[in-house]
Structure 1
Amino acid sequence: MTGRLSQSQTTEDAYRRSYEQALKDINKPMSVVVKNWSPSRCPRCKRSFESFELCFDGYYRRAKSMERCPYCGQTLDWQEEDENNAI
């Protein structure tokens, strides 16, 4: 054995490292994108949570109970939005 990895072993190792990094990234909470008069959005995939948020007279009732994006699985952080509304 020469100590060299075959191309399939190298590719498999690269996929494994990429998968592990993706798990780390998706499990790190990201702040939800919140704008007045608009539904919240996922910070990773940018998809709207409109179907999960009720709208009364133009004010959206935020879906703060969602811990993850239902579309991409990103962990969500609603804390920044709470701080902005505390004023």
Structure 2
Amino acid sequence: MFKTVGSFIVSDNRHVGYEEVDFDWGPPVYAGVASSFPGISFYMRCENGREAGIVVPISLPLLAMERFQQKLKKMISA
């Protein structure tokens, strides 16, 4: 059995082709995973017409998210 307790799983979905899906009503406005799961993140392409980049949504349990935010604030303010 695969144990995921204390793990953070990352999946790179940049090359899946979500942004190319065509249902005959125009290009997608959002193309990616419909929901998030705690401890799992999906890298996705993102474009707003002027810039292109990568979106990395992060969903962690509450205590882990609070700690992540604290560490990120320290990194940004340094």
Q: TM-score, length-normalised on structure 2?
A: 0.31
Compare CA radii of gyration and give the structure with the larger one: 1
Higher strand share: 2
